[in-house]
Amino acid sequence: MRPDSIKYCLILVLVLTSVLSRAQLGAGTANIPSLPNTDSLVEKQRKKIHDTYKYLIENNRFTKFLDLSTVVDFPIGIMKTIGNNDYVIAIDSVVITPTYAYLNASMSFKPTGSTEWVAFRGTDIKFTSEGGLTGEARLELVGDFTINLPGGGTTLTLLDDNTFVEWDCDGFKQFNLEAALNFSREMLLPIDSDGNTLEGEVAAYFSINLQDWNDLVASVEIQPFEITGVNGFSFFIDDAIFDFSDFRNPMSVTFPENYQSPYFLDGSETLWRGVYIRSVVVNLPSQFEQEDGSKPQIKGSNLLIDQLGLTGELSGSHLLSLGEGSSGSMSGWPFSIDKVEMRFNAGKIVESNINGEIILPISDEKTTLKYDAFIDHENNYFFNIAPTDSINFALWNTGEVKLYKSSHVNVEVVNGKFTPSAKLNGRMTIDVPIGNMENAKIADIEFEDLSLSSNAPYVYGGVFSNGSEEDLPKLAAFDLDIEKIGINTNQDSTLSLEIDAGIVLSGNKGGSFAASGGFSIISENISNTRRPKLVYKKTKVKNIKLNVDNGAFSFDGELAFYDNDPTYGNGFMGDVNASFNPGIKLEAYARFGTINNMKYWHADALAKFNTPVTIGTGFGIYGLGGGAFYHMKQKAGTQNQPNSGGRLVYLPDGDSGLGLRAAVSFGSVPTDAAYHGDASFEMAFYNTGGIKYINFKGEVTFMNPPISGSLVELQANMEKISSFSSNAEQPEDALKKKDKEPSSNGKIDGHININYDFSNRILHGNVEVFASVAGGVLKGAGSRNKAGWAVLHFAPEEWYVHIGTPSDRIGLAMGV
């Protein structure tokens, strides 16, 4: 028999002996944890492997080198100690066939710090006729096996696809691990590339050949994640290392200052276990998106994930700029990000700083506010604005706006979007245009709790002061006495700042007239932009309410605004109720204005009575008129002016002061067939206070038909007798003229006009009488039936009284 055949026979005997001895395996006393009572094949295999290991421990069946030719009984174990761990390869059986021989082996291993045991199994491992191994000897992992790492937040799963133990006759050589780290959802949440949260747990995969389980350091690929409780920050890991070694840390690892870990209790950093992140890119949450939809990124290095969570720092600069398409949008409020700094400890934000600039919806694109923000540990955002020297409010076309430090912006995250609001405190100056004239300006308006929102009406609330008491505001050169300022939302969705004020229409010399009115600064939302943009639209001057009483006269009514009139400048005009002493009440036309820094006003009234007011026997009043004026004079020939509306026309005049006028239309009663007349009286003062002139004018007709016609005809008559003011300015050229037009209705018609010019000390008057009775049988002897006339003139250089002249005699003519 050949020697090698004898050796195989010997091995066969040994195997048979081993089989018989294996029947004795069963009741051991080694402290090996029992496995769950399950019928699964994997669990049965694991139990068998662990029982074999237990038998070896209890019976001390070990060898240091595998030599089957010397083995007399199975199972037998090859023990090798590496570091703090014993690695035992158990040879539990040998099989011999006519063509080859093989053995079955296993390994039961308890990782340091773990309560679980890992099982490996190998079958059909060929060996040589000399009793040695041939080829590669492997023990494959028996099913995926999960190990709970200390802290309870992470598990290590060994994957059976490519996890095995290599060994030889000397025993254990190394592990080949294909593994996954899984992080609890209480620590990390998995996300896709767009930052959407996924089901399951965050996994980190690695492969490594390892000689000592306690020296496990491996590069890992971690799927994207966000930190639980820190919503929206998407972590994309570029380079990370899993450190499970007791002897070393990854190269270049740097622990943060004051970093605390349970593994540091003995003062040795090499005992630290976790994931070391060399490089990471983090997408900011969706609320930080640019207008084009892209998300800004910050970066970090030297971050750690341990059993407590993620610790480390992130930063980025110049992430968003204020420009079309490149800025961020807080529900339409553009903002930039100049810098982001964040520090995490154990999965919580412990420090953060975000700063940049923001544009309020009430400001233009050139006006920005600097902000500083931070995120607290509950994922809330807090913004503080840093007021600059001055900004503007575009919606009110303000000048300088100064915000106080008490102003603040509040930002909430709603449906993944920033939803801002603000409370502003400060001081502003309003400087708004009114047509083409000088702007309306109110300085130093203080405001509190002016509220801004990201939803319509965008601006509301606020308490406003009345502006500076030293720099008096003006409207169209009229002084204003501010009474109230407030915000109003109009029915057409426009927004207005309402300024209610007393308007000083005339100074002390002009009667100290004031009215209540004001103006509205109207803004609108430009809705065709991505952001709410409130811009100035127009300034609307309110109608003023006039209620003055000057003793001799009073006015009550509402006047409308006009501006940029070449003759009258800016002012207010309209119909009012007027009263003139003694007891004359009627409707009047009034105008209050300013031109060339001069204030002026006038009121002119006229009333016709359908039924005459009887004063005495045979005498009644058919109409009354009156007026008052300041810094104005009556325009010559008013009654002939087109578009005068039947009113006397007054023009601004800097030399004229206060003036008064009264007029009356009278006649016989119950009809004026016997006689009818009109008379007026006017007195004007210089701007310096002296009397400028006094004038009386009248006309009367006898034996005339009853008065008929419209109010316009009566007005024409009254205007005719009231045009003396312009004539009073030219006594020599106008008042000396005689030959007034006789009445076309009366049989006997008389006119009188007397004026005293105080400036030139001239008294001038004239009287004329016209007659045409019985169809001309009796008539005046002069031209146009003039029966007589007289002129009186007294001046410093000349005086005369003429009652007819040789060339223009007085007299009556009778004919048949």
Question: DSSP string spanning 498-562?
Answer: EEEEEEE-S-TTTT--EEEEEEEEEEEE-TTSSS--EEEEEEEEPPEEEEEE-SSEEEEEEEEEE
The helix/strand/coil state of 575 is strand
Q: What is the mean pLDDT of residues 707-734?
A: 46
- pTM value is 0.67
Indicate the residue type of 104: N
DSSP string, 692-709: EEEEEEEEEEES-PPP-S
Could you tell me what percent of the chain has a pLDDT over 70? 83
Domain residues for the domain of 122 are 3-143
Instruction: Look at residue 10 and tell me if it is in a domain.
Output: yes
Contacts for 107-114 with beta carbons within 8 Å, 24 or more apart?
Answer: 107/49, 107/53, 107/139, 107/165, 107/167, 107/172, 108/32, 108/49, 108/50, 108/52, 108/53, 109/85, 109/213, 111/85, 111/147, 111/213, 112/84, 112/85, 112/213, 112/214, 112/246, 113/150, 114/147, 114/148
Q: What are 152's two structure tokens?
A: 């309870």
Q: How far is CA 387 from CA 105, 320, 338, 368, 638, in A?
A: 77, 20, 17, 9, 60
Q: Is residue 622 part of a domain?
A: no
Q: How confident is the model at residue 33 (pLDDT cuts 50, 70, 90)?
A: very low
Q: Give, as one character, the DSSP assignment of residue 246.
A: S
Local structure of residue 4 (DSSP, 8 states): H
Report the chain's mean pLDDT, rounded to a whole number.
81
The answer to whether position 92 is within a domain reads yes
| Residue 621: inside a domain | no
Reply yes or no on whether the pLDDT at 12 is more than 80.
Answer: no
- Higher-confidence residue of 110 and 736: namely 110
Residue 559 falls inside a structural domain:
no
Per DSSP, the three-state class of 729 is: coil
Q: Given pLDDT bands bounded at 50, 70 and 90, which one contains residue 93?
A: confident
510 vs 711: which has the higher pLDDT: 510
Specify whether the CB–CB gap between 99 and 106 falls below 8 A: no
**How many distinct structural domains can be found in the chain?**
1
Residue 492: partners with Cβ closer than 8 Å, 6 or more residues away = none
**Mean pLDDT across 176-181:** 96
The reported pLDDT for the residue numbered 9 is 39
pLDDT score at 677: 83
d(CA 110, CA 84): 11
Question: Which residues fall within 8 angstroms of residue 549, CB to CB, at 6 or more apart?
Answer: none
Predicted local distance difference test score (pLDDT) of residue 266:
60
State both tokens at 487: 């915000």
pLDDT of residue 641: 40
Higher pLDDT, 642 or 405: 405
Q: What is the gyration radius of the CA atoms in the chain, in angstroms?
A: 55
Asked, for residue 667, whether it belongs to a domain, the answer is no
Neighbouring-strand partners of residue 435: none
Q: Which of 361, 330, 329 is nearest to 457 (CA)?
A: 361
Q: Which of 8-22, 271-285, 407-421, 675-689 has the lowest mean pLDDT?
A: 8-22
| Mean pLDDT, range 737-755, rounded to an integer | 68
pLDDT exceeds cutoff 70 at 144: yes
pLDDT value at position 532? Answer: 67
**Nearest to residue 91, comparing CAs of 111, 110, 67?**
67
Per-residue pLDDT, 180 = 96
Cβ contact 434:539 at 8 Å: yes
Average pLDDT over residues 614-636: 80
Q: At 500, give phi and psi (nearest 5°).
A: -100, 135
CA distance 505 to 591: 10
Q: Answer whether residue 5 shows pLDDT above 60.
A: no
- Per-residue model confidence (pLDDT) at position 570: 86
Cβ–Cβ < 8 Å for 605, 553? no
Q: How confident is the model at residue 264 (pLDDT cuts 50, 70, 90)?
A: low
pLDDT above 70: residue 36: no
* Mean pLDDT value across residues 503-513: 66
pLDDT mean over 445-462: 89
Classified as helix, coil or strand, 19 is helix
Mean predicted confidence (pLDDT) in 801-809: 83
Indicate the pLDDT class of residue 69, thresholds 50, 70 and 90: low
Q: Compute the average pLDDT of residues 584-605.
A: 83
pLDDT score for 589:
85
Half-sphere exposure (Cβ direction) of 261: Cα atoms closer than 13 Å = 23
Least confident of 93-102, 177-186, 275-284: 93-102
Neighbours of 806 (CB within 10 A): 5
Identify the pLDDT of residue 406: 87
Which H or E run includes 717? Answer: helix 711-722
Q: Mean of the pLDDT values across residues 623-636?
A: 82
Query: What pLDDT is stored for residue 582 in this prediction?
Result: 64
pLDDT exceeds 70 at position 450: yes
Confidence of residue 183 (pLDDT cuts 50, 70, 90): very high
> Over the stretch 330-375, which tens digit does the pLDDT of each residue have?
888 888 999 999 999 999 999 999 999 988 888 887 788 889 999 9
Provide long-range contacts, Cβ within 8 A and 24+ apart, for 644-650: 645/589, 646/606, 646/711, 646/712, 646/715, 646/716, 646/719, 647/589, 647/604, 647/606, 647/715, 647/719, 648/604, 648/719, 648/722, 648/723, 650/591, 650/602, 650/604
Query: Position of tokens 């306690």?
Result: 214
List the single range of 15-29, 204-218, 387-401, 643-657 with lowest mean pLDDT. 15-29
Over residues 86-100, mean pLDDT: 86
The larger pLDDT score, comparing residue 224 to residue 758, is at 224
Of residues 557 and 73, more confidence is placed in 557
Confidence check: pLDDT of 770 > 70: yes
Contacts 24+ apart (CB under 8 A), 2-6: 4/129
pLDDT of amino acid 325 = 57
Distances (CA, A) of 713 to 52, 61, 705: 135, 142, 15
Q: Place 112 in a pLDDT band, splitting at 50, 70 and 90.
A: confident
Band the pLDDT of 803: cuts 50, 70, 90.
Answer: confident
Give the pLDDT confidence score for residue 645 in this predicted structure.
47
Tell me which DSSP letter residue 750 carries.
Answer: E
Most confidently modeled range among 214-228, 619-633, 775-789: 214-228
Whole-number pLDDT of residue 584: 67
The confidence score (pLDDT) of residue 705 equals 59
Confidence of residue 735 (pLDDT cuts 50, 70, 90): very low
**193-219 core/surface letters (b: 16 or more CB in 10 A; e: else):** eebeeeeebbbbbbebebebbbebbbe
Q: What's the pLDDT band for 393 if we cut at 50, 70, 90?
A: confident
Across 20-34, 475-489, 692-706, 711-725, the highest mean pLDDT is recorded for 475-489
- Answer yes or no: is pLDDT of 678 > 90: no
pLDDT band (50, 70, 90) for residue 540 = confident
Q: How far is CA 563 from CA 109, 438, 568, 714, in A?
A: 99, 10, 8, 32
- List, in order, residues 6 or more apart from 505 with CB less than 8 Å away: 478, 513, 514, 515, 546, 572, 592, 599, 601
* Domain presence at residue 107: yes
Q: Residues near 256 by Cβ (< 8 Å), separated by ≥ 6?
A: 302, 304, 311, 312, 313, 345
Q: How confident is the model at residue 512 (pLDDT cuts 50, 70, 90)?
A: low
**With b meaning 16 or more CB within 10 Å and e meaning fewer, what string describes 129-160?**
eebebeeebbbbbbbebebebeeebbbbbbbb
pLDDT of res. 300: 94
Side chain identity at residue 618, one-letter code: G
Q: Are 501 and 517 in contact (CB under 8 A)?
A: yes
pLDDT band at 13 (very low <50, low <70, confident <90, very high): very low
Identify the three-state secondary structure at position 718.
Answer: helix
pLDDT in tens, 561-593: 888 888 998 888 888 887 766 666 778 888 888
Distance (Å, rounded) from C-alpha 45 to C-alpha 37? 12
**Residue 526 placed within a domain:** no
Amino acid in the structure at residue 161 = D
CB neighbours of residue 242 within 10 Å: 25
- Better-predicted residue by pLDDT, 270 or 27: 270
- The predicted structure's pLDDT at residue 580: 65
The dihedral built from the CA positions of residue 324, 329, 331 and 333, taken in this order, carries a sign that is negative
